[in-house]
Amino acid sequence: MSKRILTVDDAATMRKMVAFTLKDAGHEVLEAVDGCDALNVLKDRAVDLVITDLNMPNMDGIELTRQLRALPAFARTPIILLTTESDPAKKMAGRTAGATGWIVKPFNQEQLLAIVAKVLPA
């Protein structure tokens, strides 16, 4: 079943790679360049999943996660942090903010689709 997924990353190539993989799997994909842009995109529409980079200008992925979790419409929406960071303190900060999971870059399409399938109900 097709899901609506928001991918948030300041790197256009990463957004396109994630979007290509998800669209190829039959999902609808929205894109945002940072946390502020993501909040604007989500003002008037709901999504089934947010996949966000951790390190971005204007608003990083952890702050975006905190702000989304504060909104009733996104209190239970899965949020996956996608990052080059492997620092346990950063992972803990992500979990504390409310992130559902973590993918370390670089990753392959199978890894991305596996975590999407794991966090999204069929």
pLDDT tens across the length of the chain (122 residues): 689 999 999 999 999 999 999 999 999 999 999 999 999 999 989 999 999 999 999 999 999 999 999 999 999 999 999 888 778 888 889 999 999 998 988 888 999 999 999 999 76
**pLDDT for the residue numbered 34:** 97
Rounded to whole angstroms, how far apart are CA atoms 96 and 63?
11
In sequence order, what are the beta bridge partners of 80?
51, 101
Sequence ranges of the domains in the chain:
4-119
Contacts of 10 (CB under 8 A, 6+ apart): 33, 34, 53, 56, 57
The domain made up of 4-119 has a fold known as Rossmann fold (3.40.50)
pTM across the whole model: 0.94
Q: How many C-beta atoms lie closer than 10 Å to residue 80's C-beta? A: 23
